[in-house]
Structure 1
Amino acid sequence: MSSLTDTVDITGRVLVSGSAEGEVLFTDTALSFWGGADAVTGEIIDRHHPLSGERLTGRVLALPTSRGSCTGSGVILELILNGQGPAAIVLEHPEAIITLGVIVAEEVFGQSIPVIAVGKEQFAALKTARHIRISDGVAGMGAEIALTDRDQAILAGERGEAAAVAMRIVLRMAALEGARELIDITRAHIDGCIYTGPGGLAFAEKLRDLGGRVVVPTTLNAISVDHRRWQVQGVAEALGRSAAAVADAYVAMGAQPTFTCAPYLLDDRPARDEQIVWAESNAVVYANSVLGARTMKYPDYLDIAIALTGRAPKAGCHLPEERLPQIRVTVPPLEDVDDSLWPLLGYLIGTVSPDAIPLVEGVSQHLPDTDALKAFGAAFATTSAAPMFHIADVTPEAQSPGAFAALDLSTISLTHDDLQRAWRELNGAGAGPVQLVSLGNPHFSATELAALADLCRGKRRHASVPLVVTCGRAEMVKAEAAGDLEALADFGVTLVNDTCWCMVTEPIIPVEAEVIMTNSGKYAHYGPGLTGRTMRFGSLAACVDAAVTGEDRGTLPAWLAAAVGNR
């Protein structure tokens, strides 16, 4: 591999069969395809990523793994069906989200590209390669998976063709994960109901038309529009009808129209150690970390396949030994923190622990509540591929004295300067005017709506700065019963149900808006690529202040300014 002009023949563990060659597009930084790649053009749109602006189309994409959203599998599917995908994908090690998108393209639509995992040493050597060739790679099934009589019957089509297709997908992913058997699951949360393009719609409608029916209680994630009100909101007909049709197909298969990206806020929450199948990155992380339930970070489309069969690979965070922390992260002393700490810290810890489960120490004295943990987890899941985190003395598996003391963990010690650097990264726009305040990524809880109402009472928003909150239907009903909606209406807050900011487009985002203010670390990261706008990030109080004054002054929160000044 000494010459940059040579074609490099590579071999490794073949995850999806095939042959391909092409120019190398190399990165050693993980990528979320949702919010990171445009399915129509093939452009990398994650403005925080080293490959921002590059095109995938026809090139051999070499990247260590994915990160962030479970919907990346849907984007991969659309890229392949649009003819804008890479010629092949080379990974450092096997991963589920990217691979599953290719598997669905192959199983359901008969189109595919090779996917191969080559290991750390060979992957690092590709940094100097210009052209890669993969020749006749054949995916192996790995160790034999023990199937029950019921599994065999599903695979043979005795429960219908949709369940048989679903079982084939489950088994291919079980092999990728190294599972030797499948387990029963008690419930599912489907993220694949997001509209990523015509391929995702065709997939859902095909399963529906083949007679697919979920066999466990199944909730639906936020979809791409407000299902009941997209027309009066001015959403384009093409998007509105297609997005609603995806949701309707899943409802027809027996899923509940919950339409929330925060299913852990629903009254029926999973119990500790309950074996579940959840997709949506923030929901997965919250379920594992805060509820103590057990789920892998399931890609879109594998979620519905498991819901149709009731069977999941016995691997990953379903197993106690796979839930242990792999690294320790210590947080420096901080005083009088506000709510902006949690998304900032989650975002930062995800960047230093991109694929390892962290044990976070040094924050229990700040007494994070469920909303703080929601904000932390969503931001963490944006920058890390890890399926969970532990916070010492806070999260259930780290509460007992001396939890994990026997583990020999390497330590990353964060500094006040690290926190300030992360703050600058989330604030992509300079201080000054804002044209939209965005709240509810993930969906606001009733307690967050109450906190917002308290901040809004006696005030009115600036005439040119909409303040828009996305929230689940059930949480809005709670807020109405508590009397908080009246205060929000008086201020001028717009509430949007069913969808979330990772899918919201114009005209809910005003055409003239150039700068968006948010309290979400997740949206501050994804927003530039998804909307083409620049972002300001701050506390909930700072967001309300920006909505009143029409600008964000760019002042560091007192706790961060003091920490940096006193270091």
Structure 2
Amino acid sequence: MPGIASGRRLIDGSAQGALLFADTGLSFWGGVDPSSGEVIDRHHPLSGQSVGGRVLAIPGSRGSCTGSSVMMELIANGHAPAALVLAEADEILTLGALVAQHFFGRSLPVLCVGHEAFATLRGQGWARLEGGSVSLYNNMPEDDWQPCQTPAQDDPAETGFELDHRDHELLEGTHGKAAQVAMQIILRMARLQGARELIDITQAHIDGCIYTGPASLRFAEQLVQWGAQVRVPTTLNAISVDQRRWRELGIDPALGEPASALGDAYMAMGARLSFTCAPYLLDSAPQLGEQVVWAESNAVVYANSVLGARTLKYPDYLDICIALTGRAPSIGCHLTGQRQPQLRIAVPALTERDDSFYPLLGYHIGALCGSRIPLIDGLQHLRPGLDDLKAFGAAFATTSAAPMFHMAGVTPEASDPACSIDSSGTLPHLSITPLDLLASWKELNSAWDPQVRMISLGNPHFSLSEFARLAELCRGRRKHPDVVLAITCGRAVLEQARAAGHLTVLDAFGATLITDTCWCMLGEPVIPIGTRSLMTNSGKFAHYAPGLVGRSVHFASLAVCVDSACSGSTCGEPPAWLYAASPVERSNHV
């Protein structure tokens, strides 16, 4: 008899296939190729495998909100898993399957079985999902089983929600087809999340404007055809190309034209032309306690943690649905009680450090936390600045599924170290050592070739203060003629940097400026053909680059990046402050 694990049906249906199991969360954006289904996250145990047609068993997703778009793309093009089995309910992947059901009439079953039952899937060869259970086999069963027809979608009005007259009008189509479908999707997701009411939100930031393939454009254009118009002020994330210069940069029209058209479609819905993955740098950034709907993983973490605004880690497409209605599920980080820390992490005292410390620390802590919100202790005396918190949060969001963090004595909801939000002292406690950070540094540094031909800066988009720091480092110097140093930023910050005189210095240095898009979407020829490796100061891009652009990475501080741009090479050694804190490891390395 086969083993059987039961769970909660997030999306109903039946399917079977060879089981693909991993006990590490997977970001579909940057982790799975949307055109083929290959796992391209080179740090993941499933790297090189294909998810297509298999029952994929993972604890949940992590990293980017765009995972829902990749999931929808895979379903639309036939390279999706046959089914998903999760340890924890996952909104990002589930939403992708739900939107594909609404817009393309295709989906896949998603089952959440809990951590204990999930562990029993390890080592199994075949899985079959029916109803609320998954049957496990060593090999493909020899019977004539056929999947049943996908059940009809539930009626979103019959979900036990407290809906006001505006919600009923939206559901009834009074405000148009686009808003009606958007409300249907919101209520289906809210039911899965366990919400019982909706709240008003004041603004939105849309991540679904990233082009993942034809389905992402079809989705947006369908909304435009239905007359979609946002009901709250809405900004747009970085898109997949520099909309004004993609031809000049040598981008293939097969990408440039639909990617640009996708940005236009969201602007046709009334969104602001912002095209930045750092909306917290705009003049429209929300205030402490403000209820918003933001997508893009680094932006969500920054909004919740540093600004003290309130948002979930919204999946792509749920963000625009909420922007079209102005209503969001009252759940998760929208609620004070669900913003509390679940883990306390002590950071070692380091007397010397450079700016690579914060992305390295964020990357390491994110991997430790999983989906738990951490309270980080030990950074009070360092007084991290906004750029430090930006770099920390982006790397944290890459390896964690948590929507926020707290820093004792630093972030607004933990600002008074004498009145800690862990006043009971009952949180699980972890301590980080310098050796732990050195291990993460080695993971981010995948390149062995000392030659440097590409420096990638601005993931997330550069701030005005980062431009000032870079100009200071570059003043009076000139990059090596064989090296490309490129910076991505939003249009608003670019003009601020121009007005401050920073671009004059960077032009003399030989830097390249790119707006609208970001390094998670850039490839050849912006990254020169034949380049074997690249250098970055971004923990986020150091993680994603091997899979996204097929290059190994040197991860270093901003100052080291500039030095390497001038010399064309790097020593590849960990920073002195990290070795100074790990003398035993240094002697072993030497």
Residue number among 17, 39, 42 corresponding to 1:44 in the alignment:
39
2:400 aligned partner = 384
Partner Cα separation in structure 2 for residue 65 and residue 259 of structure 1: 28
Partner Cα separation in structure 2 for residue 431 and residue 544 of structure 1: 18
Instruction: Rate the CA distance shift 1:178–1:407 in 2: closer, same or farther, 3 A.
Output: farther
- Alignment partner of 1:545 is 2:563: yes
SS at match of 1:441: coil
2:259 aligned partner = 243
For 1:485-496, list aligned pairs within 5 A: 485-496=503-514
Given that residues 468 and 495 in structure 1 are in contact (C-alpha distance below 8 angstroms), is that contact kept between their aligned partners in structure 2? yes
2:460 aligned partner = 442
CA drift at 1:233: 1.0
Residue number among 385, 390, 395 corresponding to 1:374 in the alignment:
390
Residue number among 359, 366, 389 corresponding to 1:343 in the alignment:
359
- Partner amino acid, structure 1, of 2:205: H
For 1:271-310, list aligned pairs within 5 A: 271-310=287-326
Q: Where do 5+ consecutive residues of structure 1 fail to align? A: 1-5
SS at match of 2:10: strand
CA drift at 1:121: 1.4
SS at match of 1:214: coil
Partner Cα separation in structure 2 for residue 469 and residue 529 of structure 1: 20
SS at match of 1:18: coil
Partner Cα separation in structure 1 for residue 402 and residue 311 of structure 2: 12
Partner Cα separation in structure 2 for residue 505 and residue 248 of structure 1: 22
Partner Cα separation in structure 1 for residue 194 and residue 442 of structure 2: 40
Query: What is the alpha-carbon root mean square deviation over aligned residues?
Result: 1.3
Partner Cα separation in structure 2 for residue 19 and residue 447 of structure 1: 53
- Alignment partner of 1:196 is 2:218: no
Given that residues 470 and 496 in structure 1 are in contact (C-alpha distance below 8 angstroms), is that contact kept between their aligned partners in structure 2? yes
Identical aligned residues as a percent:
58
- Alignment partner of 1:54 is 2:49: yes
1:524 aligned partner = 542
Residue number among 35, 44, 52 corresponding to 2:30 in the alignment:
35
Given that residues 9 and 134 in structure 1 are in contact (C-alpha distance below 8 angstroms), is that contact kept between their aligned partners in structure 2? no
1:114 aligned partner = 109
Instruction: Rate the CA distance shift 1:446–1:364 in 2: closer, same or farther, 3 A.
Output: same
Given that residues 20 and 87 in structure 1 are in contact (C-alpha distance below 8 angstroms), is that contact kept between their aligned partners in structure 2? yes
Partner Cα separation in structure 1 for residue 118 and residue 573 of structure 2: 43
Partner Cα separation in structure 1 for residue 12 and residue 219 of structure 2: 21
Given that residues 327 and 410 in structure 1 are in contact (C-alpha distance below 8 angstroms), is that contact kept between their aligned partners in structure 2? yes
For 1:133-172, list aligned pairs within 5 A: 133-136=128-131, 144-172=160-188
For 1:180-259, list aligned pairs within 5 A: 180-259=196-275
CA drift at 1:92: 0.8
Aligned length: 562
Given that residues 195 and 223 in structure 1 are in contact (C-alpha distance below 8 angstroms), is that contact kept between their aligned partners in structure 2? yes
CA drift at 1:134: 1.0
Given that residues 370 and 401 in structure 2 are in contact (C-alpha distance below 8 angstroms), is that contact kept between their aligned partners in structure 1? yes
- Partner amino acid, structure 2, of 1:98: L
CA drift at 1:146: 1.2
Given that residues 437 and 465 in structure 1 are in contact (C-alpha distance below 8 angstroms), is that contact kept between their aligned partners in structure 2? yes
- Alignment partner of 1:84 is 2:79: yes
Given that residues 143 and 178 in structure 1 are in contact (C-alpha distance below 8 angstroms), is that contact kept between their aligned partners in structure 2? no
Partner Cα separation in structure 2 for residue 143 and residue 249 of structure 1: 32
Partner Cα separation in structure 2 for residue 544 and residue 84 of structure 1: 41
- Kindly provide the CA deviation profile for residues 144-195 of structure 1, in whole angstroms up to 9, marking residues without a partner as x: 2211111011011010000011001100110111000000000000000000
Residue number among 94, 97, 105 corresponding to 2:92 in the alignment:
97
- Alignment partner of 1:425 is 2:443: yes
SS at match of 1:496: strand
Residue number among 350, 361, 364 corresponding to 2:380 in the alignment:
364
CA drift at 1:128: 2.7
CA drift at 1:66: 0.5
- Kindly provide the CA deviation profile for residues 370-403 of structure 1, in whole angstroms up to 9, marking residues without a partner as x: 0000000000000000000001100000012222
CA drift at 1:406: 2.2
Given that residues 449 and 533 in structure 2 are in contact (C-alpha distance below 8 angstroms), is that contact kept between their aligned partners in structure 1? no
Partner Cα separation in structure 1 for residue 240 and residue 367 of structure 2: 28
For 1:297-336, list aligned pairs within 5 A: 297-336=313-352
> What TM-score do you get using the length of structure 1 for normalisation?
0.97
CA drift at 1:555: 2.6
1:3 aligned partner = none
1:416 aligned partner = 434
- Partner amino acid, structure 2, of 1:422: S
CA drift at 1:561: 1.4
Given that residues 397 and 403 in structure 1 are in contact (C-alpha distance below 8 angstroms), is that contact kept between their aligned partners in structure 2? no
Residue number among 529, 532, 548 corresponding to 1:514 in the alignment:
532
Partner Cα separation in structure 2 for residue 407 and residue 303 of structure 1: 36
Partner Cα separation in structure 1 for residue 545 and residue 484 of structure 2: 17
Partner Cα separation in structure 2 for residue 566 and residue 279 of structure 1: 42
Partner Cα separation in structure 2 for residue 241 and residue 7 of structure 1: 50
Given that residues 179 and 324 in structure 2 are in contact (C-alpha distance below 8 angstroms), is that contact kept between their aligned partners in structure 1? yes
- Partner amino acid, structure 2, of 1:151: D
- Partner amino acid, structure 1, of 2:88: H
SS at match of 2:69: helix
- Kindly provide the CA deviation profile for residues 133-152 of structure 1, in whole angstroms up to 9, marking residues without a partner as x: 11245687896221111101
Greater displacement, 517-526 / 170-179: 170-179
- Kindly provide the CA deviation profile for residues 46-65 of structure 1, in whole angstroms up to 9, marking residues without a partner as x: 00001101110110000111
- Partner amino acid, structure 1, of 2:79: Q
- Kindly provide the CA deviation profile for residues 344-363 of structure 1, in whole angstroms up to 9, marking residues without a partner as x: 00000001111100000111
Partner Cα separation in structure 2 for residue 143 and residue 232 of structure 1: 52
Residue number among 392, 412, 419 corresponding to 1:402 in the alignment:
419
Given that residues 9 and 131 in structure 2 are in contact (C-alpha distance below 8 angstroms), is that contact kept between their aligned partners in structure 1? no
2:142 aligned partner = none
CA drift at 1:10: 4.2
Instruction: Rate the CA distance shift 1:326–1:168 in 2: closer, same or farther, 3 A.
Output: same
SS at match of 1:35: coil
Partner Cα separation in structure 1 for residue 321 and residue 2 of structure 2: 39
- Partner amino acid, structure 2, of 1:270: P
- Alignment partner of 1:477 is 2:503: no
CA drift at 1:268: 1.9
